[in-house]
Structure 1
Amino acid sequence: MKTAVFSARPYDRRFLEEARDRHHGGHAGEFTYFDVALDASTAGLAQGFDAICVFVNDRLDAPVLQALHALGVRAILLRCAGFNNVDVAVAQQLGLFVARVPAYSPEAVAEHALALVMTLNRQTHRAYNRVREGNFMLDGLLGRTLHGRTVGIIGTGKIGLATARIFNGMGCTVLGFDPYPSAAFEAVGSSVSLDELLARSDIVSLHCPLTPQTHHLVNEASLHRMKPGAMLVNTSRGGLVDTDAVIRALKSRQLGHLAIDVYEQESALFFQDLSGEIIDDDVFQRLMTFPNVLVTGHQGFFTAEALEEISEITLGNLRDFSAGVDCPNRVG
């Protein structure tokens, strides 16, 4: 079994190899690592491989899937939970095996959401830079006490639930909205309608998958229904947010703060060192001009524990494909 790993970074190689050596040995076969993302222009690299392993910004639309199938690829292993970048219907038509990592260390993403909120609320990122320059003035660093504030969690699955537990433990009132309510959520928060959540929450945190129904869930209308001056946090998928509408809400002061770990056009930016380049994404550059906006480069998942779990489950999915047995993580 030969597997091509796309969008591979040094940490991907490290954790996949460690997982293979620890539990899977030679049964996992041979891995070849490519640092480029998978799309129509790079699909040819999969020539001679039985399987490919991809990440969130790799493109697996119909043309790419057809090209992979023609090259002999029969399995697609996602190193992530979301599969909005895969044309599942076409994959099924071609008989391709597609499996994901449905849940990995939900606490990792939940803790990053908290870090974004705490950093932006208390402006520790700005304070850090000031102190390094010998400026110990506090003007412009005024925050709000989170204890007693209302936090709205949109999507109360495993990550949303982990986030809710954190904020509940900090003394916040936690509201949740999910079309498929979680019974476990009721122990830490109250399930309400989306409109009520938006109207009451001081902080709104997104923890839902990107589907046709949730695309631009945060838009002109929903931003207008939010509590004036509220904070919006997105650690899920960039496509949940209409960035142009968010910029207008920031300019009008309807939206008080924005913290994002994902961005709708992130595939052209994230997981790359562009420090010596001109970034020609005008929308992203406009976002970066706001002092009340905090952006991180899709690092919510990035803990040793999460990477270990991702690698273990990915290799388990490969083992199921190789053995021809049912895979609980198969998509479609």
Structure 2
Amino acid sequence: MKLLMYSVRADELENLKSIEQKYDVEIATTDKPLNLDTVDLAKGFDGITVQQHGKIDDPLIYKKLHDFGIKQISLRITGYDIINFVEAQKYDLKITNVPAYSPRSVSELVLADVMALLRHLRETHLREDKSDFAWNELQAREIHNLTVGIIGAGKIGSAVARIFKALGAKVIVSDPVKRPELFDTVEYVDYDTLLTQADVVTMHTPMTNFMHHFMNIDKFKQMKNDAIFINASRGPVVNTADLIKALDDKELAAAAVDTFEGEAGITGVDLSSEGFENKYLSKLLQMPNVIVTPHIGFYTDAAVKNMDLISSIDAIKIIKGEEPLHLVK
């Protein structure tokens, strides 16, 4: 049995050796993403796994995979909005993802972002670069006195809730699905209540039509002027132009984004020599009250290992004619 893994990084290679040994599978890798130019690399393989931000939308990709005898695309990520499901269904390709590679990985980044913004660490470092060690405007708030609002309390959002609850914060959640296991940790409220009451608003939703640009200027205006906004879900859930305007107009105190609109081809790539074209990202990077990270919420040793392992197991199951554990319907 032979698997081809697209967009493989050097840090994944050791994980793949153990998968090969344990599951009697031969794994080949490419550092290229799956697209029309690279789909032919899959010829001669039994299955593929993919991890990328760029969309897989060309119908010819799906036709070729089907013609090669491949029956699935196993994503080494949680989000599946990169898939053209109409074409996948047309060519009988099953799609799997990794819904819970390590919820703690993203939640711990959110905690780090909130702590850094509350303690004004970015502003402090920028001042220190100019030998300014004054305290003005650097007074912080303490987490246990705050209300943290979570939009989307699935596996990751639930982990975020438990971390902030453990630190003494009041945690409120907006999510159409109410989890009984969170009833002793959070209070479920509607979106309007969350936005108006929370001192920290953090997004942990999938990318759906409903969530596209869910956070816009009207919702930012509902938030407290001293509130912090965090996006560690998908870039397009936020209207970036509106976020920038809200920050410029001081309708928000600060923000941290681990994912942003137009990130494909930017995150995970060293562009120090050639630069990039994304006017919104350029603006955010210049703001002293904004933290931008290149979609690294998932990027921990435990999470990467689980992403490789879980996606490979699902691919192997489909190849063997078995039902995968994480089928995306």
1:209 aligns with one of 198, 206, 230: 206
2:42 aligned with 1:43, yes or no? no
2:92 aligned with 1:95, yes or no? yes
Matches within 5 A, 1:10-89: 10-21=10-21, 23-24=22-23, 26=24, 28=25, 30-63=26-59, 64-89=61-86
The residue aligned with 1:119 is: 116
2:183 aligned with 1:186, yes or no? yes
Matches within 5 A, 1:103-252: 103-128=100-125, 136-252=133-249
C-alpha spacing 1:70/1:59, structure 2 compared with 1 (3 Å): farther
* Distance (Å, rounded) in 2 between the aligned partners of 1:49 and 1:139: 62
The residue aligned with 2:296 is: 299
Q: Residues 131-190 of structure 1, C-alpha deviation per residue, up to 9 Å, x if partnerless?
A: 688664434533222221111001111111110111111111110010111112211110
Q: Percent identity?
A: 34
1:267 aligns with one of 264, 267, 288: 264
Q: Report how far residue 33 of structure 1 moved.
A: 1.5
Instruction: Report the number of matched residues.
Output: 328
User: Contact 1:7–1:55 at 8 Å: present in 2 too?
Assistant: yes
* Distance (Å, rounded) in 2 between the aligned partners of 1:236 and 1:283: 18
* Distance (Å, rounded) in 1 between the aligned partners of 2:65 and 2:284: 37
User: Contact 2:76–2:308 at 8 Å: present in 1 too?
Assistant: yes
Deviates more, 1:56-65 or 1:174-183: 56-65
Report the secondary structure of 1:266's partner residue. coil
User: Contact 2:36–2:58 at 8 Å: present in 1 too?
Assistant: no
Report the secondary structure of 1:116's partner residue. helix
User: Contact 2:7–2:52 at 8 Å: present in 1 too?
Assistant: no
The residue aligned with 1:3 is: 3
CA-based RMSD? 1.9
C-alpha spacing 1:20/1:121, structure 2 compared with 1 (3 Å): farther
Q: Residues 32-68 of structure 1, C-alpha deviation per residue, up to 9 Å, x if partnerless?
A: 2211222233323323322221114142214232343
Instruction: Report the TM-score when normalising by structure 2.
Output: 0.93
Deviates more, 1:126-135 or 1:264-273: 126-135
User: Contact 1:99–1:317 at 8 Å: present in 2 too?
Assistant: yes
Structure 2: tracts of 5 or more residues without a match: none
C-alpha spacing 1:315/1:72, structure 2 compared with 1 (3 Å): same
Q: Which runs of 4+ in 1 moved over 6 A?
A: none
C-alpha spacing 1:219/1:36, structure 2 compared with 1 (3 Å): same
* Distance (Å, rounded) in 2 between the aligned partners of 1:123 and 1:66: 52
AA in 2 matched with 1:312? L
Deviates more, 1:315-324 or 1:67-76: 67-76
User: Contact 2:119–2:139 at 8 Å: present in 1 too?
Assistant: yes
AA in 2 matched with 1:117? V
AA in 1 matched with 2:27? F
User: Contact 1:7–1:58 at 8 Å: present in 2 too?
Assistant: no
Q: Report how far residue 328 of structure 1 moved.
A: 2.2
Structure 1: tracts of 5 or more residues without a match: none
AA in 1 matched with 2:53? N
AA in 2 matched with 1:36? K
User: Contact 2:226–2:252 at 8 Å: present in 1 too?
Assistant: yes
Q: Report how far residue 318 of structure 1 moved.
A: 2.0
